[in-house]
Structure 1
Amino acid sequence: MKKPYLLLLSLFAFLPNLNAKMLIVTTTVPLANITKSIAKDSAEIIPLIPPGTSPHTFYPTPETVKRTNMADLFIMNGAGLDFWAKKLVNKNKHSLTMSSFVPLIKGEDGKGYNPHIWLSVSNVKIFAAIIDSALCSIDPADSLYYNHNKLLFIKRLDSLDIAIKKRLATHKNKYIVLFHPSLIYFDREYGIKEVAIIEKSPGKEPTPREIMNIIDKVRKYKIKVLFAEPQLNSKAVKVIASETGAKLDYIDPIGNFNEDYINFLNNNFLKIEKSFNE
């Protein structure tokens, strides 16, 4: 049997040193929430792009640059989403570009890559390991704490992955119409087929001919729900919904700051699954 003081020492190994909080700056809210799952209360975590703002339309201010320069760790998405952050990365000693650690999917327009890499369980498991390694390098005294949090987070991701696969196995036709190609990584991971994407590039509305083609596909595949995004103008998807009688719902690919990442991804999945049952 362990002596009481040895038991206390083993417990303290998984507690952070709260007297020396590091500052972690991320470009996006999802990266902030993923990092929070590893760092917990040992760090102040700040996303540069405010919740409710599309990463595609954000541009840094002098305050953005100031915050980044003060950070102990700077984490950007990459793959063109936060292109403006490349200059900020060079000014920070400890920085991560997450797109460099995962396989990328080509963009819908044939140019560049789809940047929505955080909407993939397998990608986020890689992110967790990379962020854990960076935190341990900056703050080796709390390595056991970060390792412990990483393992718990990955275990929860594995459980979510199993649950999603089990639920989707009951659906024969997994068709979806997206407003924007934000769920491509998620869909590829779980065999969900995008029969149409309404706005392939941010701010580039579909032509009348493209809208008619999408309407035909909605009818052909008997799509009952169309998904818009709260950060982007949904005028075109409303027109298509009106013409086809499909319901309009919202998928949020960003989420809220300090929202649990697992809950965020699961909530979006439940909306998608519900659309298969309409």
Structure 2
Amino acid sequence: MHLINKFTLVLLVGIIISCQSGKIEKETNLISVSILPQKYFIERIAGDDFKVNVLIPPGASPATYEPTPMQMKDVAKSIAYFRIGHIPFETVWLNNLVEGAGEIKVVDLSKGIELIKGIEKHGDHVHEGGIDPHIWSSLKSVKIISRNLFQELVKLAPNKKEVYEKNYRKFLSELDEMDQFAETSLSHKKGMSFMIFHPALTYLARDYGLHQISVELDGKEPSPAHMKHLVEEAKRLEIKQVFVQKQFNVENAKAIVFEINGEVVLIDPLTEDWLNEMKRIINILKD
């Protein structure tokens, strides 16, 4: 985002807030989060005890989305902001989102997860790149996210500890069951390569010994040379599907599957219906 636009938006929100008696009233049950799966996780533990303000709407990308003034105002009303960890949206916007929010608790839900760092290529050398943020694409990681959430939600509503613990244990049991299903279903696929436009399944691939091939290169659309390489790799590895998240353009994926006589498979790990989508993705990978 251009610096001037960001400055203008932050200034506009500041004016909106200052025009309302100088102080925004907190809503004692309002929590802000970055992505829709977080809303699902919170509601699995706390039911409808909290109103969850999701900043990135359905169909938007965490890499490019810009919050609206009203969303920034809703963050200022919140008692807590649960960040998912390291998505570009949070890197760019989080400080501005909480700066005018007064007393707001900021919690990093990626705490305790073994994060994956990428590899960046520069000319004739490579080095360790930034953190892969897609921790919600892993059942194993979501177990840790849920534990972090449970602990923080109990702090916000201590009188509901027994209810939240019961709900948390039930959700954890479902995660364990799905994780075991994936372990069993994908055991014969260890070392298998799959192709995806945006590398959203990095943690899932690590969990079950799969190899993810990204069409994007360092977050950018592929060059003609890289497209040629991808087609060659797909043919060599007998890949017939290219996964594309609904937040991204499918045209490059279509160009690849045309060359390999394959198909584009739309997935949405960012959906609020998270557990069902994870099961669908695992079923596609196992077949």
TM-score, normalising length: structure 2: 0.82
* Distance in 2 of aligned mates of 1:47 and 1:174: 35
- What displacement does 1:266 show? 0.9
* Distance in 1 of aligned mates of 2:28 and 2:285: 39
Question: For the aligned residues, what is the CA RMSD?
Answer: 1.9
- What displacement does 1:169 show? 2.0
Is 1:141 the counterpart of 2:159? The answer is: yes
Partner of 1:182: 200
Q: 1:71 aligns with which of 68, 78, 83?
A: 78
Q: Give 3-state SS (helix, strand or coil) of 2:117's partner.
A: coil
Q: 2:59 aligns with which of 52, 74, 89?
A: 52
Is 1:193 the counterpart of 2:211? The answer is: yes
Partner of 2:19: none
Partner of 1:12: none
Contact 1:251/1:271, CA 8 A, preserved across alignment: no
Deviations 1:5-49 (Å, cap 9, x if unpaired)?
A: xxxxxxxxxxxxxxx971221111111111111111212122111
Partner of 1:119: 137
Q: 1:156 aligns with which of 171, 174, 178?
A: 174
Partner of 1:10: none
Contact 2:135/2:203, CA 8 A, preserved across alignment: yes
Letter in 1 for 2:216: E
Deviations 1:71-95 (Å, cap 9, x if unpaired)?
A: 1221112224322123324545222
Where in structure 2 are the equivalents of 1:27-106 lying within 5 Å?
27-81=34-88, 82-83=90-91, 84-89=93-98, 91=101, 92-106=103-117
Contact 1:180/1:201, CA 8 A, preserved across alignment: no
Q: Give 3-state SS (helix, strand or coil) of 2:243's partner.
A: strand
Contact 1:181/1:200, CA 8 A, preserved across alignment: no
Contact 2:116/2:132, CA 8 A, preserved across alignment: yes
Partner of 2:21: none
Partner of 1:246: 262
Contact 1:120/1:189, CA 8 A, preserved across alignment: yes
* Distance in 2 of aligned mates of 1:230 and 1:157: 24
Q: 2:243 aligns with which of 227, 230, 234?
A: 227
Letter in 2 for 1:273: K
**Greater length-normalized contact order (CA 8 Å, ≥ 6 residues apart):** 1
Q: Give 3-state SS (helix, strand or coil) of 1:243's partner.
A: helix
* Distance in 1 of aligned mates of 2:191 and 2:209: 10
**Percent identity of the aligned residues?**
28
Query: What are structure 2's unaligned runs of at least 5 residues?
Result: 1-26, 121-127
Q: 2:277 aligns with which of 260, 264, 267?
A: 264
Q: Give 3-state SS (helix, strand or coil) of 2:32's partner.
A: strand
Q: Give 3-state SS (helix, strand or coil) of 2:242's partner.
A: strand
- What displacement does 1:108 show? 4.5
Q: Give 3-state SS (helix, strand or coil) of 1:181's partner.
A: coil
Letter in 1 for 2:152: A
- What displacement does 1:112 show? 1.2
* Distance in 1 of aligned mates of 2:98 and 2:206: 30
Q: Where has structure 1 moved over 3 Å in runs of 4 or more?
A: 89-92, 170-173
Contact 1:108/1:181, CA 8 A, preserved across alignment: no
Moved more, 21-30 or 215-224: 21-30
TM-score, normalising length: structure 1: 0.84
Partner of 1:8: none
Query: Normalized per residue, which structure has more strand?
Result: 2
